[in-house]
Amino acid sequence: MASRALPRRSPAAARPIDNAIPLHEQIRYRGLLTVAVMGASIMQILDTTIANVAIPHMQSALGATSETVNWVLTSYIIASAVAMPITGWLADRIGRRRLFLTAVTGFIIASMACGAAQNLEEMVVFRFLQGISAAFIGPLSQSVMLDINPPEKQGRAMSIWGMGIMIGPILGPILGGWLTESVNWRWVFYVNLPVGLATLALMWALLPATGTRERKFDLFGFSMLALGLAALQLMLDRGAQQDWFDSVEIWIEMGVAAACLWMFVIHLLTARNPLFNRPMLADRNLATAMGFMIVIGVVMFASMALLPPMLQRLFGWPVIDTGWVLAVRGVGILASMWVAGQLLGKIDARWMVGTGLIIAALSLWQMSHWSLEMGMRPVIVSGLVQGLGMGLIFIPLNTMAFATIPPLYRTDGSSLLNLFRSVGASVGISIVTTLLGANTQTSHEDLVSHITSSSTSLLDPSTADRFGIIGDTAMAMVNAEINRQAAMVAYIDDFWLMMWVTLAAVPLVLLLRPAQPGAPKASAADMGH
């Protein structure tokens, strides 16, 4: 009788994991595994912004219009939002190691397919698949970083992970702009191949298997959440193009989002086996951290969406110069994250979060005093200050969010935190861009009302038509300057709004609880969830 060959397993998978011993005590090469996990995380977070600068080049190469090419970004956002909530369930069912390796492999393949796409339809499909893979990488990387480090080093682990999450969106436009101008827009996607293969090889050799557990899938709950999030992301992404609530499409998307998310909440509160564990969601630290993630999404990502077009269009800065000036924000983030990692466990983390919010609000106050006559220095200073504030918020907040929930729910909790940060970014970007357009029009009307013969000593607007082409050119120059001034006023209004949103979040710090010694344990009822 022929013997059946045993399937080959990787070295990490072959070593049995003793569930009675904490995972961090069984890891041999923690440093290399950290490099692998961070490589996957940075690769994924870079792709949220690296493709943005290549959109104009994609439009001509793929034969798309200015409106349809935006589906390259929209498909990725929707796919990530829909897939992210089931990360915890999939990790329990098929194993975290298998899911992580599959997600990284899928991300690499989808990236190569995006780079080789020949038309818009192919690009949208491949970006959707890339977004699904990316949705799993973020939460899994965070939960792995927590599990492979002992409790006393988890703050430092979160600082390392947070650096990748916060620096990625800043470096993305710089790297994307350089690749697009120096090589080709397709290399925005091809650049993932060497990083992805190196990451995959290290993870295959070092990432341990943590086992699986039975967990029922809440199909109705997931369907309602997926439909609600997809409709919400569509509404936020297409609202400005469709003139918001003057469009039937936006009303339909808002109705679907509200109805589905409402049904999901009711189902979550009443179902026997909901998609997320109810005691986990009732944890005060995790729930408060999700609220803070919306604020971080609004302040961090909305400001990053506003600044590049403002500096390039109003100030006339080149793309590369704009990228390098904004990258200074990353220096502040790195510095404050290192400080936060050193201070965790020595001072109350709530003080760091509150201080970070106040510093971030200070940077927005500085930005609200900008003018069209300034140089680079105010942008650099305010960016550095904002980076210092965001770094002080992010690390202590993530540490406290996981300090009071059992390790069993770290992947679920991480998926929710990443989801709320993504939704906060979408909401923030939609709000500030909509207000920017509306306030620009209002400011333009106010400024035009003050343009009279007495305010323009060299040109009387009422007699400009007598000078023919010269008069028309002069009036066009006056109107262009009015447009610049009106846009600057609108940007300042957005900075004021974000400052007040940041300050309004400060009292939420009082809801957080300091971490207690010893990791929380899951109850028997939780284990059966």
* pLDDT tens figures, 385-420: 988 888 888 778 878 887 777 777 777 888 888 888
Residue 9 falls inside a structural domain: no
* 57-61, 332-336, 380-384, 473-477: range with highest mean pLDDT: 380-384
Residue 18 falls inside a structural domain: no
| The two structure tokens encoding residue 12 | 């990490």
Structurally, how many domains does the chain consist of? 3
pLDDT of residue 391: 81
pLDDT of residue 456: 55
Residue type, 352: M
* 57-66, 311-320, 452-461, 490-499: range with highest mean pLDDT: 490-499
How high is the mean pLDDT of the chain? 78
Residues 183 and 224 in one domain: no
How would residue 358 be classed by pLDDT, with cut points 50, 70 and 90?
Answer: very high
How would residue 523 be classed by pLDDT, with cut points 50, 70 and 90?
Answer: very low
Residue 17 falls inside a structural domain: no
Q: Rounded to whole angstroms, what are the CA distances from 452 to 13, 165, 177, 336? A: 78, 51, 43, 51
Q: What is the mean pLDDT of residues 511-523?
A: 58
Residues 304 and 322 in one domain: yes
Q: Which neighbouring-strand residues pair with 347? A: 344
pLDDT of residue 268: 85
Quote the CA–CA distance of 133 and 109 in Å, as a whole number: 10
pLDDT of residue 478: 67
| The two structure tokens encoding residue 446 | 């106010």
Q: What is the mean pLDDT of residues 17-40?
A: 68
Q: Rounded to whole angstroms, what are the CA distances from 227 to 12, 201, 365, 397, 449? A: 38, 36, 38, 29, 47
466: DSSP letter: G
| The two structure tokens encoding residue 382 | 């305010």
Q: What is the mean pLDDT of residues 288-293?
A: 85
Q: Residue 136 CA to chain centroid, in angstroms? A: 14
Mark which of 253, 272, 291 sits at the end of a domain.
272
Residue 382 falls inside a structural domain: yes
* 38, pLDDT greater than 80: yes
Q: Rounded to whole angstroms, what are the CA distances from 224 to 79, 157, 239, 274, 486? A: 15, 34, 22, 12, 42
Q: Residue 370 CA to chain centroid, in angstroms? A: 26
Return the closest-CA partner of residue 45 out of 428, 330, 368: 330
Q: What are phi and psi of 344, to 5 degrees?
A: -60, 135
Mark which of 170, 198, 215 sits at the end of a domain.
215
How would residue 23 be classed by pLDDT, with cut points 50, 70 and 90?
Answer: low
Quote the CA–CA distance of 154 and 344 in Å, as a whole number: 9
Higher-pLDDT residue of 444 and 346 is 346
How would residue 529 be classed by pLDDT, with cut points 50, 70 and 90?
Answer: very low
* 186-218: b (≥16 Cβ within 10 Å) or e: bbbbbbbeebbeebbebbbebbbbbeeeebeeb
* pLDDT tens figures, 106-143: 999 999 998 888 888 888 888 889 988 988 888 888 88
Residue 7 falls inside a structural domain: no
Contact 72, 58 (CB under 8 A): yes
Quote the CA–CA distance of 97 and 113 in Å, as a whole number: 24
Residues 268 and 382 in one domain: no
Residues 41 and 165 in one domain: yes
Quote the CA–CA distance of 471 and 466 in Å, as a whole number: 7
pLDDT of residue 230: 85
Mark which of 254, 272, 290 sits at the end of a domain.
272
Residues 288 and 159 in one domain: no
- List the CATH number of the domain containing 409: 1.20.1250.20
* 15, pLDDT greater than 50: no
> What is the value of pTM for the model shown?
0.74
Higher-pLDDT residue of 73 and 44 is 44
* 10-19, 97-106, 338-347: range with highest mean pLDDT: 97-106
* pLDDT tens figures, 159-173: 777 777 777 777 777
Residue 403 falls inside a structural domain: yes
Residues 257 and 291 in one domain: no
pLDDT of residue 525: 42
Based on C-alpha coordinates, what's the Rg of the chain? 25
Quote the CA–CA distance of 244 and 437 in Å, as a whole number: 12
Q: Which neighbouring-strand residues pair with 344? A: 347
Quote the CA–CA distance of 87 and 412 in Å, as a whole number: 7
Residues 203 and 315 in one domain: no
Quote the CA–CA distance of 106 and 43 in Å, as a whole number: 13
* 513, pLDDT greater than 70: yes
Residues 244 and 192 in one domain: no
Residues 227 and 124 in one domain: no
Q: Domain containing 355: what range?
A: 277-529
Residues 191 and 249 in one domain: no
Q: What is the mean pLDDT of residues 183-211?
A: 84
Residues 35 and 91 in one domain: yes
Residue 98 falls inside a structural domain: yes
Per the listing, tokens 């949220």 go with 48
pLDDT of residue 157: 75
* pLDDT tens figures, 471-506: 456 556 666 677 788 888 888 888 998 899 889 888
User: pLDDT exceeding 70 applies to what percent of the chain?
Assistant: 84
How would residue 519 be classed by pLDDT, with cut points 50, 70 and 90?
Answer: very low
* 373, pLDDT greater than 80: yes
| The two structure tokens encoding residue 321 | 């110069």
* 459, pLDDT greater than 60: no
Residue 224 falls inside a structural domain: yes
* 514, pLDDT greater than 80: no
* 11, pLDDT greater than 80: no
pLDDT of residue 4: 42
Q: Residue 65 CA to chain centroid, in angstroms? A: 26
Residues 229 and 295 in one domain: no
